[in-house]
Amino acid sequence: MPDTRTDPALFQEFRQVLGARDPKTVAAYLTTMRDFAAWLAAQPGGAPLHIGLVTETAVRGYMDALQRSGRAPRTRSKALSGLRRFCQWAVDEGYLRRNPVRLSVSRL
């Protein structure tokens, strides 16, 4: 299990908000966000992680990468759910102006 103390501050804040949820759900959301952040870091200009990098294009690219790597549809669906939840939280907290996952869901 990853050391959550090394998560970016945004992920730690997100985890605190999720506190009362099922621990497996929280772990799944955070795993998705860590994987997404790692994927972003490997892209040109993707590191260091900051909220401005979480765009519709980035979400679509990540989902395409999951599909190309052979991830099962259910795995991709769970990843999309985690990204959607994180991005909605970021909108609610004022970190994002709009949810990039909501915009791209119908096209993924």
pLDDT at 103: 57
> What pLDDT shows up at residue 46?
85
CA distance 51 to 87: 9
Q: Are 11 and 30 in contact (CB under 8 A)?
A: yes
Q: What is the mean pLDDT of each run of 10 residues along the chain (108 residues)?
A: 69 89 91 95 89 94 96 95 94 94 60
- The class of domain 23-107 in CATH terms is mainly alpha
pLDDT score recorded for residue 5: 65
pLDDT at 6: 73
Supply angle C-alpha 77, 75, 93, rounded to 5: 50
Give dist(CA 26, CA 44) in Å, integer: 29
pTM, two decimals, is 0.86
Q: What is the pLDDT of residue 84?
A: 95
**C-alpha–C-alpha distance, residues 70 and 53, integer Å:** 24
pLDDT of amino acid 1: 46
Sorted by where each begins, the domain ranges of the chain are 23-107
Task: Indicate the residue type of 79.
Answer: A
Write out the H or E segment, with its range, that includes residue 80.
helix 73-92
